[in-house]
Amino acid sequence: MTTLTIPGLLQTAARDHGDRPFLRIGTTVRTYRETREAAATMAGALAVQGCRPGQRIAAMTGNRIELVDLFLGAAWLGAELVPLNTGLRGGGLRHVLDQARPAHLLAEDETAERVRAAGYRGTLWRAGADGTPRPGGGPAFPAAPVRPEDTACVLFTSGTTGTSRGVRCPHAQFVWWGRNVSDALRLTADDVLHTCLPLFHTNALNALAQAMTVGASITLAPRFSASRYWTEAAAAGATVVYLLGAMVPMLLAQPPGPHDRAHRAVRGLSPATPAHAWGPFRERFGVTLVDGFGSTETNLVIGTTAEEQRPGYMGTLREGFDARVVDELLTPVPDGTPGELVVRSHRPYAFATGYLGEPAELVDAWRHTGDRVVREPDGWFRFVDRIKDVIRRRGENISSCEVETVVRGHPEVADAAVFPVPSELAEDEVMVAVVPRAGGTLDLAEVIRHCERELPPFAVPRYVDILRELPLTETGKVRKAALRRRGVTGTTWDRATADAGPPTR
């Protein structure tokens, strides 16, 4: 069996590190050997319930052992896991279910209600309930003869064109993520990894592969809490932590205390950390952060290491990849000039193979990232901004198109434009400019409640401006650059800080 598959990676890890602890999540602790047996019997339990190789199985749960079992069991069986963002609801949830068409879906009680309300009519399992597949619920299956290019997961991301797209992530992509990041972090079998990031994102799923690559242990926490973060990391015995850039200022904003250094963590992976936060974070918490560029569609193409640091920069090109900075005509631009980052892999199937419902990507093709960057003469890459209308808020990609569709669905809204404005933490905040319907009364409180019913919490706009008309180009397109330049003004309503309720106009 090739080691460029998830079953192959797990088999090798169980052979080399069988009795070492692999996973701790909730009250469950498993060794590598126990994890391999759980994957084999979970595959059998799935088969008993009618799951077949190549089928899609969705999950809409928080970080819990049932989701890890489903991820590894589906990969062992040769099925495809579709982890769904637990914040999805309304039209956004209907869209991803229509795209993925899973035959089976694992949910928790609350998410199960939303799934049914969105029209799902397949087999619905409830986590922890009788009749739900679990390890030991079927015979131990031999690992399916999956290939490195076969899809292991479909992960939904906003991408760079608007509506959510299902990214086909092959087995080999996870294995290469494991190898590349474990090398950047200098992981060993003695490390304990700690992540509170959700398993419906590539970051946490890839952390499992990183642990398996070197025989390390990993602890999965249910969610991020700035006030409890270091206490939880200490309880886990963590030596390596996983963060997103916006989390770093949140931790620095906490009152100093003895817990700041009462832990074993010395390294952390934290993409998009603000340059001004690197030094203070290391000085206060004793943790050196590693940055880099990667995405659901790609891999760790550019990165730093604990030894090679330059705050504000994503890093240098990693072995096995190519990167160029190009203009609108795809012509490479000189060093020091902003342009779009395009990337290519020389490692087999280290990138996603394409999107659901779209033609497969060529293995050796250049991939557009939609990110504007600068390459310095010495090979270091610096992120500038995003080219398309995708907003990045606290680790989540938000489609401005989808938010606009929801806002325009309110009966008193004539038009709306959604765009990013800088956050005081990192990344973006969501702002919307709304044009009221003529002759109507626009209650912003009701508009926000409408958004909360139809959007995940991270996508609900924070800032709202009411305009008589949107700025348009000669061809009728919204001039979002003008809206971004205008940004937050004295008349902008801020949902996060307003003492009184929002205005009615």
Residues of the chain with CATH 2.30.38.10: 318-386
Contact 230, 259 (CB under 8 A): yes
In this structure, which long-range contacts are made by residues 200-204, counting pairs with CB atoms below 8 Å and at least 24 apart in sequence? 200/59, 200/60, 200/83, 200/84, 200/85, 200/86, 200/155, 201/155, 201/395, 202/155, 202/169, 202/177, 202/295, 202/296, 203/242, 203/244, 203/395, 204/63, 204/242
- Concatenating the DSSP letter of every residue in 124-176 gives EEETTSTTS--TTSSPPPPPP---TTSEEEEEEE-TTTSS-EEEEEEHHHHHH
Q: φ and ψ at 225, to 5 degrees?
A: -135, 115
Distance CA 330, CA 339 (A): 9
Mean per-residue pLDDT, 295-322: 95
pLDDT confidence of residue 113: 95
Per-residue pLDDT of 359-397, as tens digits, reads: 887 777 899 998 889 999 999 999 887 777 678 887 887
Distance CA 275, CA 260 (A): 21
pLDDT, one tens digit per residue, over 1-45 is: 578 999 999 999 999 999 999 999 999 999 999 999 999 999 999
- pLDDT number for residue 430: 95
Question: Which pLDDT band, with edges at 50, 70 and 90, does 163 fall under?
Answer: confident
Predicted confidence at residue 474, as pLDDT, reads 46
pLDDT band for position 497 (cuts 50, 70, 90): confident
* pLDDT at residue 54, rounded to an integer: 96
Structure tokens at 458: 């991270």
CA distance linking residue 444 with residue 412, whole number of Å: 10
Tens digit of each residue's pLDDT (9 = 90 or more) over 437-462: 877 788 888 899 999 999 999 999 99
Kindly report, as residue ranges, where domains of CATH 3.40.50.12780 are found in the chain. Answer: 6-223
The CATH classification of domain 6-223, taken from the options 3.40.190.10, 1.10.10.10, 3.40.50.12780, 3.90.550.10: 3.40.50.12780
Secondary structure (3-state) at 444 = helix
pLDDT in tens, 229-240: 999 999 999 999
pLDDT bin (cut points 50, 70, 90) of residue 500 is very low
pTM above 0.75, yes or no: yes
**What pLDDT does 424 receive?**
82
Percent of the chain with pLDDT over 70: 96
Residue 438 pLDDT:
78
300 residue type, one letter? L
Show the DSSP H helices in 191-269 as ranges.
202-214, 229-236, 247-252
Q: Which of 53, 69, 138 has its CA nearest to residue 106? A: 69
Question: The domain at 390-494 falls in which architecture?
Answer: 2-Layer Sandwich (3.30)
Rounded to an integer, the average pLDDT of 108-120 is: 95
Q: Which CATH class is domain 318-386?
A: mainly beta
Hey, is 289 helix, strand or coil? strand
CATH 3.30.300.30 domain position(s) in the chain:
390-494
Indicate if the pLDDT at residue 275 is higher than 50: yes
- In this prediction, residue 179 carries a pLDDT of 98
- Overall size of the chain counted in residues: 505
Collapse the DSSP code of 390 into the 3-class scheme (helix H, G, I; strand E, B; otherwise coil) and give the result.
strand
Q: How high is the mean pLDDT of the chain? A: 91
Minimum mean pLDDT among 84-88, 105-109, 399-403, 480-484: which range? 399-403
Distance from first CA to last CA of the chain, Å, rounded? Answer: 65
Please report which confidence band the pLDDT of residue 162 belongs to, taking 50, 70 and 90 as the band edges.
Answer: low
Q: Say whether pLDDT at 344 is over 80.
A: yes
Strand-by-strand arrangement of the 463-466 sheet: 413-422, 428-436, 463-466, 493-494
**What is the rounded average pLDDT of the residues 110-124?**
95
Pairwise CA distance, residues 292 & 282, whole Å: 17
CA distance 29 to 15: 18
DSSP code per residue over 77-113 = HT-EEEE--TT--HHHHHHHHHHH--SEEEE-HHHHH
Q: pLDDT digit string (tens) for 199-215? A: 999 999 999 999 999 99
Return all residues near 104 (Cβ < 8 A) that are at least 6 apart: 46, 49, 50, 51, 55, 57, 58, 122, 123, 124, 125
